[in-house]
A and B are shown apart, each in its own frame.
Chain A
Amino acid sequence: MNQLSESAATASGHKVCRYDGRKILLDQEGFLVDPSAWSEGVAVEMAREQGLEGLDEAHWVIIRFLRDYYFAHGKAPLSRDLKNGTGFSLLEIERLFPGGLKEGARRLAGLPNPRGCM
C-alpha cells in the first residue's frame, strides 16, 4: 500500500502518497496535483494498484503521447487528437487500462484531473 496514513491528508483535501520512493500529492480522485511530479515508476506503481502488473509498449505509447501533448500544448488532447496521435481508438485505450480513459490512461500519465460536469 503506497498511500500514507490518514494523517497525511492535507488541509486542502489532497492525499500524500509514497510512489517511486517519493512523497507525492494526489487529489481526492487519485490524480497527481502536480504533473511534473510524475515518473515512469509512479505510473508503474499506480497501474499495479489498479491490478495491472506491468505496462507494455501499447500503454507507454499512450502515456507518452498524453504527457508530450500536455506539456507541448498546456492542455490534454482532444479525443480525436488522442486517437490520431496514438494510433489507438478510444475504445481500445479504454480497454487497455483498467480504469479506462480518465481514471486509467490519463491518471497514470500524471495529467491533472479534468473538472468537467462531474
Chain B
Amino acid sequence: MIYLDNAATSYPKPAECLRRALELYLKMGGSPGRGSYDLAVAAHERVNGIRRRLCRFFGGDDRYHLCFANNATDALNTLILGLVEAGSHVVSSRLEHNSVLRPLHHLQQQGLIFFDLVPFTERGFIEPGEVAKAIRPDTKLVVLTHASNVLGTIQPVEELAAVCRSRGVPLVVDASQSAGAVSIDIKNWGVQGLAFTGHKSLLGPTGIGGLLLSPDLNPKPTRFGGTGVDSRSPYHTSEYPNRLEAGTINLFGILALDATLDLLEQTHTESYAREMLLLKKLRDGLGSLPRIRMYAVQDLDNHLPLLTCTVDGIRSEDVGAILDGDFGIAVRAGLQCAPFVHHDLGTIDKGAVRFSLGPFTSEPDIDAAITAMTAIAR
C-alpha cells in the first residue's frame, strides 16, 4: 500500500522509536505523580523532563506550562472552554477544523458566547487585517489554525499574533498539522496558547497530545478529579500542570513522543524539504490533467506537504475508493472535518481528495499517484 494520508495520522510509525518507548514503559510502569515509591517518582521525573523538552521544541522557556491531553481536539476544548466566559466574543476563521468550530458552535448554541469567523484568501491565507476588523471590545480570545488541514497553507502567525497583542486579546494556535513538520516558536511569535497532537507529524501513537501556555494565560480548569496532589481538598488544584490534567496521564504516549523527538530533532528540517520537493512533483504532474482542479498550490512557500484536488464529474469518495481498490493508494476523501473551507471552495457537495505526504513517502509513491490520477481523470 502507498500511504498518502499523513495529515490524518502519520504512517508508518518509526518502529524503533516506539519499541524503545514500549521497553521503557514496561520497565517504568508506575503511575507518574501518584506515590512516593521509587518507580512512581522516576516516572514522574521522566514525564516532567519530557514536558520541558517538548516546551523547548515549541519555542517556550521555563516559564511556559506544558500540559498533556489526549489529542489536539482535547487540548483545544480545554483551551477554548477554559478561556471564555459568559458573554465572551471569540474570533476564529473559516479555515478551521471541527476541533475548533464545534466547541465554538456548541458554546454559542448554549447562549454562552458569540463568535465571528474571518475569511481566507483564494490562496488559502488568513489576512491579519481581517482579524483586526473582527476583534471587538468584548473579544476574549482569537483561535486560529497554524496550517490548514485541507489546503496545507501555513498562516502568518507572527503577524496575526501582533494584531492580537495590539488589541490585548490572547491568540491560541491550533498546530495539529504543523507540530513536528515545521518549526514552531511560541515565545518569539508572541502566541499565548498552542494545541498539538502527537500522532501526526510528531510521529507518535494516537491518544497523546497537549497544550503549551505562555505564563500570562490561565485557562480555568473544565475537568476535575485526581491529580496526585492536594488530595485533602475537594477542589481541583490550580497549580500547573495538574490544573489542566485531570486523571492519570498517558505515560506510554509521552515516552513515545520523547523517542520520536530524538528522531525529529535530527531529521525534520531535511525531511520537510524533501517532502516539499515531492509535493511539487505531484502538483506539476496533476496540473497537466484536464479534469483535475487543485486548490491553493500555486505557490508552495509557506505550505505543508499536502495537496487537495477534485476530479470533475466524480465524487471525491469515489476517487478515494478507486485509488484504494485499484491502485493501493490511501488518501483522505470528503470534507476532512473542515466544512467551511469546502463551502468556500465550492466543494461542499462532493468533497475533495487530499494527498498528504510524510517522512516515509518516496518518489515512486508520487509517480504511482500521478499515474493513478491520470487513469481516473482520463
Contact = CB atoms under 8 A, between A and B. Distances in A.
B322 A91 contact: yes
Contacts of B317: 101-102, 114, 116, 118
A89 B325 contact: yes
B334 A116 contact: yes
Given A82-B325, A83-B325, A91-B375, A101 B336 contact: no
B318 A101 contact: yes
Interface string A59-102: 00000000000000000001110110000011100100000111
A95 to B, nearest CB: 10
Given A91-B376, A117-B335, A117-B336, A79 B318 contact: no
A115 B117 CA distance: 27
A103 interface: yes
Contact of B315 (A78, A90, A103): A103
Contact of B326 (A78, A89, A103): A89
Interface in B30-71: none
Contacts of A91: 322, 326, 375-376
A80 B333 CA distance: 17
Interface string A105-118: 00000000010111
Contacts of B375: 91
Interface in B294-315: 314-315
Contacts, number: 55
Nearest to B332: A117
Nearest to A81: B325
Interface residues of B, number: 18
The secondary structure that dominates the A interface is: helix
Contacts of B336: 117
B332 A102 contact: no
A50 to B, nearest CB: 13
A100 B325 contact: no
Interface residues of A, number: 17
Given A117-B332, A118-B334, A102 B325 contact: no
Interface string B318-340: 10011011100000111111000
B186 to A, nearest CB: 30
B351 interface: yes
A25 B293 CA distance: 36
Contact of A102 (B315, B324, B326, B335): B315
A94 B351 contact: no
A117 B334 contact: yes
B328 to A, nearest CB: 9
B368 to A, nearest CB: 15
Given A102-B317, A102-B321, 4 more contacts: A79-B325, A100-B318, A101-B318, A116-B317
21 contacts: A79-B321, A79-B324, A79-B325, A82-B325, A83-B325, A83-B326, A89-B322, A90-B322, A91-B376, A94-B318, A94-B322, A100-B314, A100-B315, A101-B315, A101-B318, A101-B322, A102-B315, A117-B335, A117-B337, A117-B351, A118-B335
Interface of B: 314-315, 317-318, 321-322, 324-326, 332-337, 351, 375-376
Rank and list the top 10 A-B pairs by shortest CB-CB distance, nearest first.
Answer: A79-B325, A117-B334, A90-B325, A101-B318, A90-B322, A100-B318, A79-B324, A83-B325, A89-B326, A79-B321
